[in-house]
Every structure is written in C-alpha cells, then in structure tokens.
Amino acid sequence: MEECNNCHERWFDMNVDPVTGFCSQCRNQNRAKLFNAGNFMDPGPSVQELAHQYGLKVPEPCTQIEAMCISPV
C-alpha cells in the first residue's frame, strides 16, 4: 500500500511521486492546497497510529465490508 504525504490517503497503485510524496490526484487536481493543517483539513494520524503512540492495544483496521456496513450512505 502507498500513502500520500498530502491527503494521507492509503491505497494500492496511487502513483506516489518519490520526490514530493504526493499521489497522482494531488498532483493533477492541485489538492496540495486543500488538504493541509492551515485550513484544518489534515485528517491527522490514524487510530492505529494513535494507539501505538500512547501504548494502548492497537485495534485491527476495519475490513472493506465492515466499513461499508457502518457507512451512512
């Protein structure tokens, strides 16, 4: 899995640039200005990263089916 340094999205084949760390969508749609801490659109660390940072039990991430079941749409 790849992770974008700008939007912090994680997925397969995101075509992340090795120099900037931005995914193809952030480079093409100029999302570099949209997802940043300056306008409070930075999603921050994941639940797993926070649990590891504070020494708590690291929960397993939801599967795609579980995420779809709890999705409001």
As averages over each run of 10 residues, the pLDDT of the chain (73 residues) reads 84 90 84 71 79 87 87 77
Report the length, in residues, of the chain. Answer: 73
Q: What is the pLDDT of residue 18?
A: 92
pTM score, whole prediction = 0.52
User: Looking at this protein, which amino acid is placed at residue 11?
Assistant: W
